[in-house]
A and B are shown apart, each in its own frame.
Chain A
Amino acid sequence: MSQLTKILVILLSLFAIFLCGAMVSFVVNTNNYKVLYDQQKNLFSTSQAEVAELSRLYDEQKGKMAELQSQLESKILNLQESNNKLIADLQNAERQSQEYQARADSRNGVLTGFEQSIRSLQESLRLTQSQLDQARAQGIKDSKELNQITSQLQEKLVQIESLEADRRRLLEQKKQLETQVGSGFVSAPAPVSVVTPLAGPARPAAGITIGADIRGLITEVSANMVTLSVGAADGVQKGMVFHVTRGDQFLCDVAVTNVDINKSAGVLELIQQQPRIGDTASTRL
């Protein structure tokens, strides 16, 4: 074997060993691309399935979203319509509120005026009531005085009638004496027969029995008072109660509050019907 062959053998052996080492290290360090491919393929298929599922879910959600959007749009339209209606109602309510406020202000003004008027009317009513009370007291006093004067007048009339009877009796005696003197007979005077009876002493008119039935008619009718055609001359006294009837029908009672000579006035009580002028009033039914 030549020297060159030996050198080539050595070099070839070294190169072969180096190449084998490099080949082994390469094979050891290389990746298993099939496994990686399978893994990637599985990942890809899984991803595709996920994409398909997500796409389906996306479509479903998209459909739901579109439906929800349409519903919400319809709701928004309805709400806008109701909002417009409510705005219109609010404007109407505000306008009505202003009108009512103006009316309330005017009513307040009117009420204030009414209150002032009522106060003035109450004041005038109190004044009139006091004047009426004074007039009633004065009327009662005058009535008493009138009754006294009437009784005195009746006494005077009785006295006048008695004096008139005395005068007539004296005139008859005088005429009889003149007749006797004219006939020439002078004798003992015959007793004079007097036609006019001798009147007794003057005495007041007989009083009217309180318990007797007094009947009269209604001559005036006002709101709650009536005027009767009988008065103190008929025996009516203050506080007596008359029963007002029309035919057989009971109408009301009248409590006498004011008594005049020939008329009296009272307030209505136990009103069944409103009395009229001409109805009968009596103390006994």
Chain B
Amino acid sequence: MAKLKDTAANDVYTAILALASLTVLATAVYAALTCWLYYGSGLWEFTIQAIR
């Protein structure tokens, strides 16, 4: 019983971790799409020029 209880708790924390990972991934995809929308094919050139 106790082990069953521990497994359920572990699944909850795993789900939370997966949700956090999904949020990070969605954020990265959103930022990447936004950057692509802004700069298009010249993203890398602009990035290099901005860095220089």
B27 touching A9 by the CB < 8 A rule?
no
**Closest residue of A by beta carbon distance from B23:** A20
The CA of A12 and the CA of B21, in the complex, are separated in Å by 9
Q: Which residues of B contact A19 (CB under 8 A)?
A: 24, 27
Determine the interface band of chain B, counting residues with CB < 8 A from chain A: 20 to 34
Interface membership of A16, Cβ < 8 A? yes
Count residues of chain A with CB under 8 A from any CB of chain B.
Answer: 19
Interface string of B19-34 (1 = CB under 8 A from A): 1110110110011001
Interface membership of A203, Cβ < 8 A? no
**CB-contact partner of B23 in A10, A17, A33, under 8 A:** A17
The CA of A35 and the CA of B42, in the complex, are separated in Å by 12
Q: How many A-B residue pairs have CB under 8 A?
A: 49
A9 touching B30 by the CB < 8 A rule?
no
Interface string of A6-33 (1 = CB under 8 A from B): 1001101100110110011001000011
Q: A1-B10, A23-B31 are in contact. Are A12 and B39 (CB under 8 A)?
A: no
Q: Which residues of A contact B46 (CB under 8 A)?
A: 33-34, 37
B24 touching A20 by the CB < 8 A rule?
yes
**CB-contact partner of B13 in A1, A16, A17, A27, under 8 A:** A1
Q: Which B residues between 1 and 52 are near A, CB-CB below 8 angstroms?
A: 6, 9-10, 13, 16-17, 19-21, 23-24, 26-27, 30-31, 34, 38-40, 42, 46, 50
